[in-house]
Structure 1
Amino acid sequence: MKVNWNYIKLMFLLLLLLGVYAFSGVRHQSKKIVKTKVEFLGEDNLFITQQMVNKLLIQNLGSLTNVPKDALVLNKVEKVLEANKMVKSAQVYLTVNGELISKIVQRKPLGRIQGNSNFYLDDEGKRMPLSSNHSARVPIITGKITDSSLQNCFAFLNFINSDDFLKKNIIGIHIADENDFQLKLRLEDYVVNIGGVENLKAKFNNYKAFYSKAIKDKALGSYKAVSLEYNNQVVCTKI
């Protein structure tokens, strides 16, 4: 009987490859974590630092260096990180070199509430604690702080952040009632009354037209209040 050496060679090669693959897999699983690394994604507002992240992991999981890679549950590490009130989301993975990489997205504040209790309102409309590590440059919100008024305020903050002119100029929001807002501007002394958060685009288009004309007329310093509450009107009160 004629021996098919090509077939035997092929089988031998397959067995060799399987052996090498299994051996490398065992070696990979037996490796230990040699280093941890934290990367912050998005903006550079460090409400939580790398040192704080490392401390958080040690407090909850102990030291992760020299831990066998196959003994670490990555999902558990992510949940520990996301439990921190400054963290919006976390993704954790291991490299072939034994590095534990944590990629963290921090929460983004839109406004800072100042009253009986102080906190941020973030980009999901949720309350966010202040940080001793970093202070965000966002509008200060005062007045009647309730869950309902904050919902309306959140809608208004989103509108402000979508408009470069408003984002640059509005530094304070006073909630006179649940749906009645007054604005403090960066450079002007007058108060802007906008009423409720409906028809904001039309209201501020009118305001921008008024503002442009008032600058040309050098009249901005003569007003103590500007109202956008009425349909298609800008009503001004002089000093």
Structure 2
Amino acid sequence: MKRSLGYIKAFVLVVIICLLYGFAEKRHKSRGISEVRVQFTDSENLYVTEEVVNKLLIQNKAAVSSIDKETLDLNRVESLLNQHQMIENAEVYLTLDGKLEAIVSQRKPIGRVVGNSSFYLDKNGEIMPLSQFYSARVPLMFGFDGSNVSKAYAIISHIKKDDFLNRHVTGINRLKGDKYTLELREQDFELYFGDSSNVALKFNNFKAFYKKAQKENKLETYKKVNLQFGDQVVCTKK
């Protein structure tokens, strides 16, 4: 009899524990979000602000405290963030203490088209709108539109990844036949690039030419520097 009573007590204790756990779990899920926190993955200037992300995080523009954890759809919130034109990727999760956190990676512009329509070209070669919060310091692109800007991606991308070119190249002009000239920060000679083939070779030749001519104080004597032949740099003096 005592043995049976012990089993009954143990069973009742398990039931009570399960009920308490279920009750605590339900209370936990029904609590509102205590805080929303946004973390950007880099320290660059923001093309989309924390305030904008906060508004996207809160479904139907409701107050944070009115959203309970059980009805919050994290996948939907993530999808809303990832649809934003300035965001490359977002991860959203809930912490144990009731905070809604978002880790946001911004899209990164590498060139800015200037003309009838103005927009950025991002690091993935896709069109990115201008931001109302910050203007990126990237090479300006003239003579481009949405139909042809991707053809210059190899050139702009190479410039962005090279410290020397990043310091010296300020713009790119599109000519007929998808040929290009580049604008330099400190020099007034025309830098003719030609088409977008052999990008690395052309730029390596240019850097070697520039450093040699700079050392010999000859940079200001040139009217045009032509890189289109790939294997050599052809210069025209003033």
Could you tell me which residue of structure 1 aligns to residue 90 of structure 2?
A: 90
**What's the CA shift for 1:58?**
5.4
TM-score, normalised to structure 1, is 0.87
Q: Distance in 2 between matches of 1:17 and 1:172?
A: 70
Aligned to 1:64: 64
Within 2, Cα distance between the matches of 1:235 and 1:162? 25
Percent identity among equivalent residues?
42
Residue of structure 2 in register with 1:166 after alignment:
165
- Number of residue pairs the alignment of both structures matches: 238
The structural deviation recorded for 1:11 is 6.6
**1:179 Cα shift?**
2.9
The one-letter amino acid of 2:110's match is L
Pairwise CA distance, 1:21: 3.8
Report how far residue 159 of structure 1 moved.
Answer: 1.5
Is residue 76 of structure 2 the alignment partner of residue 76 of structure 1?
A: yes
Q: Gaps (5+ residues) in structure 2?
A: none
Q: Give 2:225's aligned amino acid.
A: V
How much has 1:161 moved relative to structure 2? 2.0
Report the 3-state secondary structure (helix = DSSP H, G, I; strand = E; otherwise coil) of the residue aligned with 2:130: coil
Mapping for residues 71-150 of structure 1, pairs under 5 Å = 71-145=71-145, 147=147, 149-150=148-149
Q: Distance in 2 between matches of 1:193 and 1:216?
A: 22
Which runs of 5 or more residues in structure 1 are unaligned?
Answer: none
**Paired AA for residue 152 in structure 2:** C
Q: Which amino acid aligns with 1:181?
A: Y
Indicate the SS of the match to 1:184.
strand
Counterpart of 2:48 in structure 1 is 48
State TM-score, norm by structure 2: 0.88
**Deviation string for 1:36-79 (max 9, x for gaps)?**
12111124221111122234455844223232111111112122
Give yes or no for contact 1:48–1:133 (8 Å, CA) kept in 2: yes
Please give the per-residue CA displacement for 1:182-221, whole angstroms capped at 9, x wherever unaligned.
1011121112111111111211221122112101110001
Runs of 4+ in structure 1 over 6 Å off? 4-13
